[in-house]
Amino acid sequence: MSLHPIDSAIIIFYFIFVWVIGFWKKSDSRIGDYLLMGRRLSLPAFVMTLVSTWYGGILGVSEFSFSYGISNWIVFGVPYYVFGLIFAFFIARRARESKAETIPGLLRHVYGESSGKIGALWVFLLASPAPYLLTIGFLIQFFFGVSLIPAMLIGLAFSTLYILRGGLASVVRTDILQFVLMYLGFIVMAIIGLQTVGSIAHLKELLPESHTTLTGGHTVGYIIVWFFIALWTLVDPGFHQRVYATKNPETARTGIIIAVCCWFVFDLLTTWTGLLARALLPSTTIPGQAFLDLSAKILPVGIQGLFLLGIFATVMSTLDSTTLVTAQTMGFDLMARMRRFSLIDPVKLTKVGMGFSLLLAFILAIYFPSVVNLWYTLGTIILPGLLIPVISSLYLKTSINRDLIKLSMIAGPAVASLWFLGGKVDEWNYYFGVEPFYPGMLMSLMLWGIGMLRKKHHQLSNQISNAR
């Protein structure tokens, strides 16, 4: 796409401004300040950083809303409101009061060193910046004509290097700007889009019938699996990191409730934009580029640049956040626990971990060149290994059998992976038509259940013995 020089200048100025904000102040050298801002994150900053980091795969939203209409809101909206509120009311206080620094640290404290390392591996994969690296690469390639790999490198330079200097504080400072820009950009698009189509009734006439149904033509089973993938919220490393960084549990709970309201508004804006794109653009439009093509079609010079800032802000706010989370997982939760690295400053190890994180992100982005497929694959395979252990670690006062917990953390993803690979060999025809998430989760739950039964049996035996 050829941008007007004014729009190009707006985007370039934005990149430079983000860099200045990110590098503005160096973080304290202590690990608690670098990763958690010394647990001083205020309510407004918490809300803005949480909301802005939740939408990095904006081209995936473009792809889905253009192709399937309002079911985008059902798949990528409603499930996350539900589990976000569950987190707010049932998990936020316990997570904040746990004094944990990371999810692997929480698992290590409750279930031992081995479980912490297995959890770190899953967190490292689950929080991969790959979907957002791919998205920022597509955007730069699309607008500036740079090939994909150099485009991804340029995106990384402007959206992650300041983390080396400021840690979470740099991420939060830039997220506040990104929050404002993402809403401003999509509000402008919503207003001009409505003026273009004339009315909602006319828009409906221009859309395929399936685009105004809740399922968008998908099976109920397909929709339900995305609800289960939304369980991601409960073990999302970035989500946990910000909760651990808040001033107190009340800030975490209140902030999440406000964030859910903000997500609702933004989902309406993005779904509306997808419907506009489907109505006003040719059906042959590449779905992942629909938002971008729509901006070129209906937005005037300068306003298009503002909307594109909203797109870039949405992606970059998530790219820097996931990069920091995976860097801390590799450096702080894995390398720092090894004897050979035990005397090295954890902050330095976290910065080294960033290199491993970005290398994996490049590999995944090249192998899975679809944001939606990346979300689906990572969520389907890894969630069964984290969900039950993380939730139980916050609620159980005494630990169940550690060997069974480790086994459940390995067996769940292993079963899901085999099921997934079997479907891929057979052209995505999964065994018995069952999505891989379900057998993986069932295996993890069964092993955890056996551990609970053994724990109950042991407690009962001790009570009988003491009574004698």
Block residue for tokens 């909307």: 307
| pLDDT of res. 427 | 58
Asked whether the predicted pLDDT for residue 268 surpasses 70, the reply is: yes
Among the ranges given (36-50, 193-207, 328-342), the one the predictor scored with the smallest mean pLDDT: 328-342
Q: Which of 294, 295, 274 is nearest to 207 (CA)?
A: 274
Q: Which of residues 408 and 468 earns the better pLDDT score?
A: 408
Instruction: Judge whether 95 and 413 are in contact, CB under 8 Å.
Output: no
* Residue-averaged pLDDT of the chain: 87
Instruction: Judge whether 287 and 66 are in contact, CB under 8 Å.
Output: yes
Block residue for tokens 């003026």: 195
List, for residues 89-102, the tens digit of each pLDDT value: 999 999 998 888 88
Asked whether the predicted pLDDT for residue 397 surpasses 60, the reply is: no
List, for residues 398-456, the tens digit of each pLDDT value: 567 788 889 999 999 999 999 888 876 655 577 777 888 889 999 999 998 888 887 77
List, for residues 242-265, the tens digit of each pLDDT value: 999 999 999 999 999 999 999 999
pLDDT band at 285 (very low <50, low <70, confident <90, very high): very high
Q: Which of residues 465 and 190 earns the better pLDDT score?
A: 190
Cβ count within 10 A of residue 408: 27
| pLDDT of res. 372 | 63
pLDDT band at 86 (very low <50, low <70, confident <90, very high): very high
List, for residues 198-238, the tens digit of each pLDDT value: 899 999 999 998 898 888 888 787 788 778 778 888 888 88
Structure tokens at 114: 């081995």
Among the ranges given (70-79, 189-198, 255-264), the one the predictor scored with the smallest mean pLDDT: 70-79
CA 391 to chain centre: 18
Asked whether the predicted pLDDT for residue 457 surpasses 70, the reply is: no
Asked whether the predicted pLDDT for residue 459 surpasses 60, the reply is: yes
| pLDDT of res. 185 | 95
Asked whether the predicted pLDDT for residue 28 surpasses 80, the reply is: no
Asked whether the predicted pLDDT for residue 68 surpasses 70, the reply is: yes
Rounded Cα gap, residues 287 and 224, in angstroms? 23
Output the 3-class SS for the chain: CCCCHHHHHHHHHHHHHHHHHHHCCCCCCCHHHHHHHHHCECHHHHHHHHHHCCCCCHHHHHHHHHHHCCHHHHHHCHHHHHHHHHHHHHHHHHHHHCCCCCHHHHHHHHHCHHHHHHHHHHHHHHCCCHHHHHHHHHHHHHHHCCCHHHHHHHHHHHHCHHHHHHCHHHHHHHHHHHHHHHHHHHHHHHHHHHHHHCCHHHHHHHCCHHHHCCCCCCCHHHHHHHHHHCCHHHHCHHHHHHHHHECCHHHHHHHHHHHHHHHHHHHHHHHHHHHHHHHHCCCCCCHHHHHHHHHHHHCCCCHHHHHHHHHHHHHHHHHHHHHHHHHHHHHHHHHHHCHHHCCCCHHHHHHHHHHHHHHHHHHHHHHCCCHHHHHHHHHHHHHHHHHHHHHHHHHCCCCCCHHHHHHHHHHHHHHHHHHHHHHHHCCCCCHHHCCCHHHHHHHHHHHHHHHHHHHHHHHHHHHHHHHC
Instruction: Judge whether 165 and 26 are in contact, CB under 8 Å.
Output: yes
Asked whether the predicted pLDDT for residue 128 surpasses 70, the reply is: yes
Instruction: Judge whether 308 and 295 are in contact, CB under 8 Å.
Output: yes
State mean pLDDT over 51-63: 85
State the CATH architecture for 5-383: Up-down Bundle (1.20)
State mean pLDDT over 31-60: 88
Give me the residues paired with residue 246 across strands.
41
Longest C-alpha distance within the chain, in Å? 86
Asked whether the predicted pLDDT for residue 367 surpasses 80, the reply is: no
- Within the chain, all domains assigned CATH 1.20.1730.10 are found at 5-383
Asked whether the predicted pLDDT for residue 6 surpasses 90, the reply is: yes
CA 192 to chain centre: 30
| pLDDT of res. 245 | 93
Asked whether the predicted pLDDT for residue 461 surpasses 80, the reply is: no
Burial, 256: exposed, middle or buried (Cβ in 10 Å; 0-12, 13-18, 19+)?
A: buried
pLDDT band at 370 (very low <50, low <70, confident <90, very high): low
Rounded Cα gap, residues 215 and 64, in angstroms? 12
Asked whether the predicted pLDDT for residue 462 surpasses 80, the reply is: no
Question: What phi and psi, each to the nearest 5 degrees, are found at residue 354?
Answer: -60, -35
List, for residues 290-300, the tens digit of each pLDDT value: 999 999 999 99
